[in-house]
Each structure stands twice: as C-alpha cells, then as structure tokens.
Amino acid sequence: MWLSKSIQLPPKPFGFHWITEEVTDQIPEIAGIAVGLLHLSLQHTSASLSLNENTDPRVLLDLRDLFRHLVPREFRFRHDDEGPDDMPAHVLCAMIGTDLTIPIRAGSLALGTWQGIVLGEHRDRAGSRVLLATMHGQPI
C-alpha cells in the first residue's frame, strides 16, 4: 500500500516544537500498517525536521539557544531581502535537514522511548508549514 498526503501545520514561533501528534493525527492510516515506512519531507527552506527528546521541554529551549548562538543574525549575510532572520533560517535548514524516514510497526510509528518528531521553526513570524507524507507498507 502506498499513500501520499500533505500535512498542514499551523504557524509556530521561532524555536523547536514537538509535532509527532500533529503528524499522526493527520495520518490515521498508520494504524492499518503492520510493517512499513513513513517519509516526511518539509516543503520549506527556512524550517527543519529532526528526531529528538520528547518529554523535557528544556531540550527544545537548549536547541533553540544553541542554534541561535551557532548562526547569529548579526553575521553579515548577503541574502537579506526578506529580513535579518531569512538567511540564518536557510543556514539552520541546511544544517539540520528537512526529511525524516520513520519505521512503522504494528500500526504505530516505531520511535524510541524518548523520541519525537521536532519541527525547527527558524523564522520569527513564519506562516503555516506543509509536510509531504509518503507512506508505504504492508496492511495489517
């Protein structure tokens, strides 16, 4: 079985955000897969996707602060047509990435005990974000 669908995420502030539930709520078909893969592709160049800690919100704050330190907005970027947060957002996107592939087992995402899907929002006032979800698997 193959499935492809777009997932709309509401606007989020600059920082890192757990989105596992938002993703799985929009793909109820996962429950019908015995074994398979879910590929998520973020359709933007100023945000990112990763797997990370999913219980302690301080992890998200530390990620935000570290990446803001690593890619300071004060750096003299040439590409600045869309504001001072635009090019730093592209750099963070390039560093972290925009794609994840997650195994599916017995109707659920086969994530580790402390793993969750994290959206990195790298713009100050971003709009909604779109994920292209492609799922392939053997039905239950």
CATH, residue 85 = 2.60.120.460
Amino acid at 93: C
What integer pLDDT is reported at residue 126 of this predicted model? 94
What integer pLDDT is reported at residue 87 of this predicted model? 96
Question: Residue 81 pLDDT > 90, yes or no?
Answer: no
Structure tokens at 5: 């669908």
Name residue 45's beta-bridge partners.
none
Q: Containing domain of residue 120, as a range?
A: 2-139
Q: At what angle do helices 57-70 and 86-96 cross, to 10 degrees?
A: 120
What integer pLDDT is reported at residue 4 of this predicted model? 98
Give the contacts of 93 (CB within 8 A, at least 6 positions apart). Answer: 44, 45, 46, 47, 48, 120, 122
| pLDDT per residue as tens digits for the range 116-130 | 999 999 999 999 999
Cα 70 from chain centroid? 19
What integer pLDDT is reported at residue 6 of this predicted model? 98
Structure tokens at 31: 């429950």
Number of domains in the chain: 1
